[in-house]
Amino acid sequence: MTLDAATLNRLIDGLVDHGHFVGPDVVDAGLCRALHDELDHLAAHDGLKAAGIGRGEQHQLRRDIRGDAIRWLTRDSQAQRDYLALMDDLQRQINRTLYLGLFEFEAHFARYPPGTFYRTHVDSFQGRANRVISTVLYLNPGWPDDGGGEMVIYADDASRELVRIPPESGTFVCFLADRVPHAVLPTRHPRASIAGWFRRNASLGGHVDPAR
């Protein structure tokens, strides 16, 4: 499975012109269904862990900031391997056209129970920017208009809302990880997604950011 050329061009243009890209129906419905089934199974069998904020020793649970439960992808199902192969292909294409030197991709399933959200944040900090591009794939078929749970992308200085994205199955979003403030609005239904990051394993002052 690969991304079609037209989508790829729009994605690259979006990143260059606006710092973000939003596309409906980017990922095949069958693959989204398989990933959603896997996440449902994990949720039903205690396979998810409450997500925190901060890395390493700074890691802490803050349900007032983010309320999702996650599991890192490890290639242990065909659906995971298919999605990661798609992201491998995307990494190659971005490196070929934008010379970003992306080196690896890390991603986790995320499930937001009703009533949860993720407050406005950026995914990496300038100068420590090992996460270069953020990605999100949504897995919820037929998301209702009043379901909440939209992702909002804000202007650089967080003053203005630029787009509001319902988490409809197949919709794929990517953006510059150190520059784009974004949030998940409170959801009314269980909300399933895969959040991922293309990383550059830069060593800054001899310090290499841990993988997760």
Ligand X SMILES: O=C(O)CCC(=O)C(=O)O
Contact residues: ligand X, CB under 6 A: 110, 118, 123, 136, 151, 182, 184, 193, 195
User: Interacting stretch for Fe ion, rule CB under 5 A, among 12-20, 87-95, 118-126, 166-174?
Assistant: 118-126
Minimum CB separation of residue 205 from ligand X in Å reads 25
Q: Which does 184 bind (CB under 5 to 8 A by kind): ligand X, Fe ion, none?
A: ligand X
Q: Does 123 bind Fe ion (CB under 5 A)?
A: yes
- Residue 194 identity (one-letter amino acid): I
Q: Which is nearer to ligand X, 65 or 97 (CB)?
A: 65
Q: Which does 151 bind (CB under 5 to 8 A by kind): ligand X, Fe ion, none?
A: ligand X
Which residue is it, tokens 């794929």?
Answer: 172
Minimum CB separation of residue 29 from ligand X in Å reads 19
**Joined tokens for residue 146:** 């009043």
How far apart CA 171 and CA 130 sit, in angstroms, is 25
Minimum CB separation of residue 146 from Fe ion in Å reads 24
Minimum CB separation of residue 66 from Fe ion in Å reads 9
Which residue is it, tokens 């039903």?
Answer: 44
Point out which residues bind Fe ion (CB under 5 A). Answer: 123
